[in-house]
Structure 1
């Protein structure tokens, strides 16, 4: 079940025809993938993750104590732990590679399904369809409108 709600593919940020980074997200994390130049020794790479900054300003704040980075097979992988679990990010970096509205909507729906699945184990939400926004719990209680 979890595989059905996992990110289908990485999103790419391309600038002037060159891929800068790829990324995906789950309810709790944003993952960035950066292909490293082949002629730079990995011991020269150092990544500092701050609550709202990673070389550039992050889209939203992260938990620095549980965010980390690794290098494997010539790729820098940065895992950013979301401060607000379940919040949909349009991009990891402000102003760089934001998702178009349709893809952002699909991403939000996928994360909503993940959250429903996590909060209701044993139920299969993988085929659920959303036609709009979720009802507001302040005005919609157990199928009875309270307005």
Structure 2
């Protein structure tokens, strides 16, 4: 069984006061550190296609409009080891050029370096999908990769 591209290449996390978030071409991953001993009954998580809200033990962790749309019926959250909440959102737009610059509109923004690294990773992930026989997980790219990188679709194979 082959390992997914993102597992081999690592993630580019955007650190926040409550944990971090990261992304692939298809998904957005959110990790929230919560007090040890937190139970599932103490977690209130609403995941919509455009909105998200998380409360733990009656305290709001975050609430707002997502940077872009997601498939709400494919969103999940789990509480692991009673101290970590993992949320997975499926992006509606799954192109390499759809690199979220923040988790919520105007909040939890990736700094310029993190945004650059996220875009590079999504571009390499796109190259991997277009060329399944090659391994781009450890590759380095330079040049114009913003918006998903160069378009090679017009080249003959």
Q: Shorter-chain TM-score: which interval?
A: 0.7 to 0.9
Report the number of matched residues: 135
* Structure 1 CA distance for aligned equivalents of residues 139 and 108 of structure 2: 29
Q: Normalising by structure 2, what TM-score?
A: 0.74
Q: Normalising by structure 1, what TM-score?
A: 0.78
Q: Which of 92, 103, 109 matches 1:92?
A: 103
* Structure 1 CA distance for aligned equivalents of residues 116 and 14 of structure 2: 14
* Structure 2 CA distance for aligned equivalents of residues 128 and 38 of structure 1: 39
List gaps (5 residues or longer) in structure 1. 14-18
Partner of residue 67, structure 1: 75
* Structure 1 CA distance for aligned equivalents of residues 8 and 35 of structure 2: 34
Q: CA RMSD in A?
A: 2.4
* Structure 1 CA distance for aligned equivalents of residues 37 and 132 of structure 2: 48
Shift of 1:41: 3.6
98-107 vs 45-54, greater mean Cα deviation: 98-107
Q: Which of 133, 139, 142 matches 1:127?
A: 139
1:5/1:113 contact within 8 Å kept = no
* Structure 1 CA distance for aligned equivalents of residues 8 and 39 of structure 2: 38
* Structure 2 CA distance for aligned equivalents of residues 49 and 111 of structure 1: 24
Deviations 1:75-100 (A, max 9, x none): 11110111111321112122222112
1:35 matched to 2:43? The reply is no
Shift of 1:141: 4.2
Shift of 1:65: 1.5
Partner of residue 155, structure 2: 142
| Larger Rg over CA atoms | 1
Partner of residue 51, structure 1: 49
1:51/1:62 contact within 8 Å kept = yes
